Amino acid sequence: MRRVWRWRCLLWCAALGGALAGGAAPAATVRMGFGDNLPPYILVEQDGGIEVEVVREALALRGHTLRAEYLPMGRLPVAYRSGRVDAIMMDVGEDMAGRGHYAEPPVLYDNVFYTLRARKLHIERPEQLRGRSIMAFVGAAKRYPEWLGALSRSPDYVERNNQAAQPLLLALGRYDVVLSDRTIFQYYVWQRRERDPAFVMPAVDEHAFTRADPRDYRPVFRDAQLRDDFNAGLAQLRKSGRYRAIYGKYRGE
């Protein structure tokens, strides 16, 4: 509790200092659209998660208050164009440069293939996935057609919206390969251990197969000064170590 109180005091003092220094937009309540529930990045019931907390604290460092609105991804651009929200988070499948101002990405999804180290599998080319049972997130085959397009028609390939079971199913050998963002996988390993202290995740190998594009994870702000304030706050979060602490909170660190 003392640590939380101390950080809130630091946020308030930093926000006051930024306002007194000038250059920041007047304190505002920023209505921002986020996607649906995606632990640990977006936790709708808690009005939190890594993504939401980073944005909230970055804005708070410049005196602003976040009001998050959670919508299906397809409705985010509609909510933005209609004026329902002042900003939206993440790539929404269309260029928004003519309608707002892109900011620095507060998070970066880093998708990799996971395999059990004991299996000694090598995944360096798409053909090395043939004949393997694979569990991925919904939409993975469309996002990575060169790797998963042909496999998506196989009964050994499944996509699931809820990724909570991925670590357990991999540990039990139900699937040879799991496709997940690194942070999401680590979060669910931690959650599994919290629920079942006897659970031990076997050693795994991470097979990187693509390079994440930061442009896919940029928020869009209607107001340029709010965008600048967010960027400044985000840079301050990274410099202070608070950014890493937010991630660590959802990894059980």
In sequence order, what DSSP letters do the residues of 10-70 get, joined into one string? HHHHHHHHHHHHS-SPPP-EEEEEE-S-BTTTBBGGGTBSHHHHHHHHHHHTTT-EEEEEE
194 and 219 assigned to the same domain: no
Q: Specify which of 60-64, 91-95, 139-143 reaches the highest per-range mean pLDDT.
A: 60-64
185 and 102 assigned to the same domain: no
Query: Could you tell me the two tokens for 58?
Result: 């970055």
139 and 165 assigned to the same domain: yes
29 and 95 assigned to the same domain: yes
* 240: helix, strand or coil: helix
36 and 104 assigned to the same domain: yes
102 and 6 assigned to the same domain: yes
Number of domains within the chain: 2
In the block, tokens 């602003």 appear at 64
Residue 253: band (very low, low, confident or very high) from pLDDT cuts 50, 70, 90: confident
165 and 178 assigned to the same domain: yes
Contacts with 214 (C-beta within 8 Å, 6 or more apart), sequence order: 105, 108
Q: What phi, psi does 34 have (nearest 5°)?
A: -120, 160
24 and 115 assigned to the same domain: no
pLDDT of 17 above 60? no
pLDDT of 246 above 70? yes
Higher-pLDDT residue of 244 and 93 is 244
Domain edge (last residue) among 208, 224, 241: 208
The rounded mean pLDDT for the chain is: 91
pLDDT of 143 above 80? yes
Average pLDDT rounded to a whole number, residues 59-84: 96
| % of the chain surpassing 70 pLDDT | 89
In the prediction, which pLDDT does 20 show?
A: 42
76 and 117 assigned to the same domain: no
45 and 97 assigned to the same domain: yes
What does pTM read for this prediction? 0.88
Average pLDDT rounded to a whole number, residues 177-197: 97
Where residue 36 sits, what CATH number does that domain have?
A: 3.40.190.10
12 and 79 assigned to the same domain: yes
127 and 221 assigned to the same domain: no
Quote the domain boundaries for residue 172: 111-208
pLDDT of 239 above 80? yes
